[in-house]
Amino acid sequence: MASITLTINDQKHKIDADPAMPLLWAIREIVGLTGTKYGCGIAQCGACTVHLDGIPVRSCSVPVSAVASKRITTIEGLSADNSHFVQRAWIEEQVPQCGYCQSGQIMTATALLQRNPNPTDKEIDAAMQGNICRCGTYPRIRKAVKTAAAIRSKSTSK
Amino acid sequence: MRHTTNVSRRVFIKSSALTGAALTLGISFPSAGKETSILHAKDAESLGEELNAWISIDTTGKVTITNHRAEMGQGSFQSVPQIIAEELEVDLSQVNIVFAQGDGRKYGDQVTGGSSTISGSYQRLLRLGASAREMLIEAAANRWKIAPSECYAENGIVIHRSSGRKLGYGELVADASKLNVPSSVTLKDARNYKIIRKPLPRQDTPQKVNGKAIFGLDKKLPGMLYAVVERSPRFLGKVKSFNEADVKKSKGVKYVIKVQRDVFGIHMEGVAVVADTLWAAMQGRKALRVDWDDTGFDHHNTDQLYSKMKTQLESGQFLPFKTQGNFSTSFQKAEKKIEAQYETPYESHSNMEPLNCIADVRADSCEIWGPIQGPDWIQGEICGFLSLPPDKVKINMTFLGGGLGRKAFPDYPYEAAFISREIKAPVQVVWMREDDMTMGPFRPGMVYQCKGALSSRGRISAFETIMAGQNMGAQNPGADKSQYNGDVVDGLLKPYLDRIPNYRFGDTPLESPIPVMWWRSVYASTNAFAYESFLDELAVLAEKDPLDFRNEHLGNPRYTALIDKLRAVTGWNSRKKNEGYGVAITECFGSIVGEVAKVSRNESGKVRLDKVWAVMDCGWYVNPDIIKAQVEGSIIMALGAATHHATHFAEGKAVEKNFDRYLMPRISDVPEIEVHIMDNDEKAGGVGEPGLPPFAPALTNAIFDLTGKRIRTLPFKLNDA
């Protein structure tokens, strides 16, 4: 066991954890933020995607000891009131069905739009390739990423 | 006409939070010799009626609807309130929805399966909303001392037509709750709907984009322990021994115990590692070594299962199901005839949320929380297991991270209750992805033998399909194995059976220790590949257009309308030479769906799926956007089963354990999908499943159209086609 300080959504959490524990379980089971989901445990499905210093990572495959100095953002860190432009786009396009994978989808999409404000269809597909949706919301995810880009460009041009 | 019920029947009883100053109405389900009726909650209780509390309007005018069905992505969270709000004349924003607890006595059948949430209950829901509206109007009319017919309701307000006087529902509920429930109500004409048929946004969306929605795996109870279970990888294996002492050395591990779960009456075994955290349980399991007794049953490989099915088909022995005319004679005599065999794989459900369940078993009660599709079935199962009466077993449903049929099966709550009973504490049992993907019950692998002959006019004169594969129904204890599988015609359009003079269907069930179960659209998901591929082969033999060929054998305006729509939206009559178009039309759960796939070759000459059109005829419907989402999702799930994944078995164990081997369609695999919905006056059919079966045959028929190559075995690689 080791004492580790995690910075999640701008809040510091001092936790005692096995250094080998994946960040996913620290976020869910110790810090208690359950918006980040377990799907496969081997970085194949993307349900556990969070940002480390703005970069999307699979939290199921990052040991908690490796992230002590990093800024972690989870789905809860986008906004609690759905005011974030990606959340707004997801609602506008009615993307979720069961909703389980959507935290990961949204975190991947947010990271994409941060580095590429106007992605093409091909760029969207490439960026979202690591996130599985069993309900098959992919067509709406494509639309929602474009809608998110439009919402943001509207709000920044004003 | 208002009917006055016998006043002496009305008994006022203790007021509860539910029945206090509010108007609370529910529906009683038909029991011996009784019709469905709508009753006051308070009356039902005193009359001992089996009733649920579906809607309650409080003194502020707020409406609470108790949703009796699971929400696993299919939108019942939205559709059920949308129906009630329409006839109740309230805005959806005035409506709050809560999940019902599982209780078969209160809610009737609650298993969310067979795409039945809407099709099974919409008329009752409409009547429920309309009854409450009429009572509120009557209460207002009484207050104004006028006839109810002079008033109407809108937006949660009763309005006197001539004077414009208004009373809000909240002001009327106390009076209305003392009135008799009207015995009959007039329902709106579909053309006047204000809420139904509108693509209103789903109310569960906001909490699914910010991490607030609570799925089973997110639920925590104070003092709860965590369990992970090593289950017998060969399904029927028994625990011989395990290294309890070694595992107990692992930090946080409290118990290492042999456990059971009930799978079709068989107690399948495992060893649970129970710890104070999930991580500790996962670590403890790494040290666990179980010695299994795997004697006394077959350890099949996939190849053996399929050759067994084919040998059975060759034997000519089968359980006949439906027959008409004389198939053998007409097939023998025919000049133009073909035979073909089709194969579909075993599949896991692989919902994004792996199975999990919390159980808290006390000396005389049990409470369950989890992502549950079939709460009433689970309640019955737990009552039987713990010998408890239904009022001592409470089933709580969380959001489901997908269901697809798997989360209707009661084995995982049973196992959680087993563990909680042993350790005398609340426990959450978490299935890791590898557990979820390898333990089944699976969609059964199937082989179909089809034979067909044409008349001189190019019509089907003889048709036979024999199905080989496991019969889900035959797994139940004491099942009559001489019974045919009645699902053999699922997916096939019904009018074909009126127009084909000689046909024969049957099945030759496969015996295997592999547990099998419903998988989105069940047998239709595999039958349709055989039927709709074979119809395409017959159309080619008849040298006819595939849509014309189907239409000639249907002769029914509802089906013709759907074919005309498909023809129009796809530009069927102007398809180009270098493009392949394939169609399939199937019918299940009361809905008819036609799909057309369009394929072409990409720059490197590989087959590419360009577009899919779907026309859904589900009769009466609620929310077109939810229907479109369900059809899109069904097509993508079918794309996965057709071109990406399959579960194989090696020496009796499932091979694919995680998404690195069980490959899912990714966003880049998905073509443009265009969904159309038929408007008609037919009865409501299912929405969540019927879009799945036609996709695979539409795709392989399109590939044949482009390449001349017939694909008869799923899954196949699109790139190799």
Q: Closest residue of B to A80, CA-based?
A: B210
Q: Within an 8 Å CB–CB cutoff, is residue B667 touching chain A?
A: yes
Residue B194 predicted with pLDDT over 70: yes
- Among A74, A81, A94, beta carbon nearest to B211: A74
Q: Closest residue of B to A131, CA-based?
A: B666
Q: With contact defined as beta carbons under 8 Å apart, do B504 and B323 qualify? A: yes
Shortest Cα distance from A66 to chain B (angstroms)? 18
Q: What is the ipTM of this complex?
A: 0.98
Report the distance separating Cα B647 and Cα B630, nearest Å: 24
Contacts of B636 in chain A (CB under 8 A): 136, 138
Q: What is the pLDDT of residues B482-529, one digit of tens each?
A: 889 889 999 999 999 999 999 999 999 999 999 999 999 999 999 999
Using DSSP, state whether B363 is helix, strand or coil: coil
Interface test with A, best of B79, B219, B667 (most A CBs within 10 A): B667
Q: Within an 8 Å CB–CB cutoff, is residue B370 touching chain A?
A: no
Report the distance separating Cα B460 and Cα B550, nearest Å: 10
Residue B65's closest CA among B27, B113, B108, B9? B27
Contacts of A90 in chain B (CB under 8 A): 205, 209
- Tell me the mean pLDDT in the region B391-417: 95
| Identical fold, B216-287+355-430 and B318-346+443-720 | yes
Q: Where are the domains of chain B?
A: 7-207, 216-287+355-430, 318-346+443-720
- Among A45, A79, A125, beta carbon nearest to B210: A79
- Which residue(s) pair with B261 in the sheet? B268
Q: Is B664's CB within 8 Å of A78's CB?
A: no
Shortest Cα distance from B628 to chain A (angstroms)? 11
- Tell me the mean pLDDT in the region B55-81: 74
Q: What is the pLDDT of residues B435-474, one digit of tens each?
A: 999 999 999 999 999 999 999 999 999 999 999 999 999 9
Q: Is A132's CB within 8 Å of B634's CB?
A: no
Q: What is the pLDDT of residues B171-184, one digit of tens each?
A: 999 999 999 999 88
Give chain A's domains with CATH numbers: 2-77 (3.10.20.30), 85-157 (1.10.150.120)
Contacts of B350 in chain A (CB under 8 A): 134
Q: With contact defined as beta carbons under 8 Å apart, do A38 and A48 qualify? A: yes
Residue B36 predicted with pLDDT over 70: no
Using DSSP, state whether A123 is helix, strand or coil: helix
Report the distance separating Cα B469 and Cα A124, nearest Å: 41
pLDDT bracket for residue B92 (50, 70, 90): confident
Residue B74 predicted with pLDDT over 90: no
Residue B587 predicted with pLDDT over 80: yes
DSSP characters for B380-446? HHHHHHHT--GGGEEEEE-B-S--TTGGGSTHHHHHHHHHHHHHTS-EEEE--HHHHHHS-PBBPPE
Q: Is A134's CB within 8 Å of B351's CB?
A: yes
Topology adopted by domain B7-207: Aldehyde Oxidoreductase; domain 4 (3.30.365)
For B401, the token pair is 């991270």
Q: How many CA atoms lie within 13 A of B689 on its CB side?
A: 29
Q: Is B634's CB within 8 Å of A135's CB?
A: no
Report the distance separating Cα B372 and Cα B104, nearest Å: 14
Report the distance separating Cα B392 and Cα B394, nearest Å: 6
Rounded-to-10 torsion of CA A71, A75, A80, A84? 90
Q: With contact defined as beta carbons under 8 Å apart, do B618 and B721 qualify? A: no
DSSP class of A28: I
What is residue B16's predicted lDDT score, i.e. its pLDDT?
A: 30
Residue B351 predicted with pLDDT over 70: yes
Q: Closest residue of B to A128, CA-based?
A: B667
B23-28 and A11-17 as β-strands: parallel, antiparallel, unpaired? unpaired
Q: With contact defined as beta carbons under 8 Å apart, do B459 and B553 qualify? A: yes
Residue B70 predicted with pLDDT over 80: no
- Tell me the mean pLDDT in the region B186-194: 92
Shortest Cα distance from A158 to chain B (angstroms)? 26
Q: With contact defined as beta carbons under 8 Å apart, do B182 and B3 qualify? A: yes
3-class SS letters over B533-551? HHHHHHHHHCCCCHHHHHH
What is residue A156's predicted lDDT score, i.e. its pLDDT?
A: 77
What is residue B9's predicted lDDT score, i.e. its pLDDT?
A: 23
Q: Within an 8 Å CB–CB cutoff, is residue A131 touching chain B?
A: yes
Contacts of A39 in chain B (CB under 8 A): 352-354, 433, 659
Q: Is B672's CB within 8 Å of A139's CB?
A: yes
Using DSSP, state whether B180 is helix, strand or coil: coil
What is residue B106's predicted lDDT score, i.e. its pLDDT?
A: 46
Architecture, CATH, for domain B318-346+443-720: 2-Layer Sandwich (3.30)
Q: Is A41's CB within 8 Å of B73's CB?
A: no
Using DSSP, state whether B368 is helix, strand or coil: strand
Planar angle of CA B180, B183, B187, nearest 5 degrees: 115
Q: Is A74's CB within 8 Å of B73's CB?
A: no
- Which residue(s) pair with B147 in the sheet? none
What is residue B373's predicted lDDT score, i.e. its pLDDT?
A: 87
For chain B, give the mean pLDDT: 90
What is residue B546's predicted lDDT score, i.e. its pLDDT?
A: 98
Q: Within an 8 Å CB–CB cutoff, is residue A25 touching chain B?
A: yes
Report the distance separating Cα B582 and Cα B135, nearest Å: 53
Q: Is B634's CB within 8 Å of A136's CB?
A: yes
The torsion angles phi and psi of B269, rounded to 5 degrees, stand at -110, 160
Rounded-to-10 torsion of CA B428, B432, B433, B439? -90
Shortest Cα distance from A132 to chain B (angstroms)? 6
Q: What is the CATH number of domain B216-287+355-430?
A: 3.30.365.10
Q: Within an 8 Å CB–CB cutoff, is residue A39 touching chain B?
A: yes
Q: Closest residue of A to B70, CA-based?
A: A98
Q: Within an 8 Å CB–CB cutoff, is residue A21 touching chain B?
A: yes
Q: Within an 8 Å CB–CB cutoff, is residue B286 touching chain A?
A: no
Q: What is the pLDDT of residues B211-252, one digit of tens each?
A: 999 999 999 999 999 999 999 999 999 999 999 999 999 999
Report the interhelical angle of A121-128 vs A102-115 (nearest 10°): 130
